[in-house]
Amino acid sequence: MIVFKSVTKNFPDGSAALEKVSFQINDGEFVFFIGPSGAGKTTIMKLLRRELVASEGTIMIKNTNLAEMAAREIPLLRRQVAMCFQDFKLLYDKTVEENVALSLEVAGENDAGAEKKVKETLEKVGLGKKSNFFPIQLSGGELQRVGIARAIVANPSILVADEPTGNLDPDAAWEILKLFKEINLSGTTVLVATHNAEIVNKFKERVISLKKGKITKDEKKGKYA
């Protein structure tokens, strides 16, 4: 599904966000990326969506080399590699349902089938009764659920989440990670970048540890040490 082979990412100021990073993630895996700020977690997420391009090395998704992808193919890639953000990135003048539907509109789906998909997705994330609410009326955990619904409504094969529980209290954070696991069990590959050691240790999934742009550990059923 995903292959990083000796991937390096340098920035114009000369700093290296990643240095010779290699790993493989199989279809349907759930993987935590952990490490301090600046370790390279967010860079990996952005490289997977072609928001950044590797300076060296190879990134493959489903046998497609991202470096060889034409600009017109990038929107399709980002529908297949969906993103959840720490700060939600919702439109506060639109309802929950409208925020989620926006993903399908961007993808060119505006028919009755799209409306059904939105309703089903909101039910899946536990917001079926709040489709007409505005973001300002929701809790932090509910806002993140809207963000998740928006990301999965188009049925991506990969879901990446960058510090998705960073702004949430422990109970809400736990519920969000359980939702990610449910999504994973439905067949979606899920990658989560986080600082939350307690959640990582409870879930006992694969853990890739990063420090200063290098992988320091890659463990099945790992821990945040």
Q: Which CATH class is domain 27-52+79-219?
A: alpha beta
Asked if 191 contacts 31 with a C-beta cutoff of 8 angstroms, the reply is yes
Q: What is the mean pLDDT of residues 118-131?
A: 94
What is the separation of C-alpha 151 from the centre of its chain, rounded to a whole number of angstroms? 8
pLDDT value of position 104: 87
Among 2, 12, 15, 23, residue whose Cα is nearest residue 210: 23
Give the residue extent of every domain in the chain: 27-52+79-219
Q: What is the DSSP string of 42-79?
A: HHHHHHHTTSS--SEEEEEETTEEGGG--GGGHHHHHH
Question: What's the pLDDT band for 110 if we cut at 50, 70, 90?
Answer: low
pLDDT value of position 221: 77
Among 47, 59, 73, 74, residue whose Cα is nearest residue 160: 47
Question: What's the pLDDT band for 22 if we cut at 50, 70, 90?
Answer: very high
pLDDT value of position 165: 87
| 135-178 per-position pLDDT tens digit | 999 999 999 999 999 999 999 999 999 999 888 888 888 999 99
DSSP 8-state assignment for residue 6: E
* For residue 216, pLDDT beyond 90: yes
Question: What's the pLDDT band for 103 if we cut at 50, 70, 90?
Answer: confident
* For residue 224, pLDDT beyond 80: no
Could you give the angle at the alpha carbon of 103 between the alpha carbons of 97 and 105, nearest 5°? 90
Least confident of 47-56, 101-110, 141-150, 170-179: 101-110
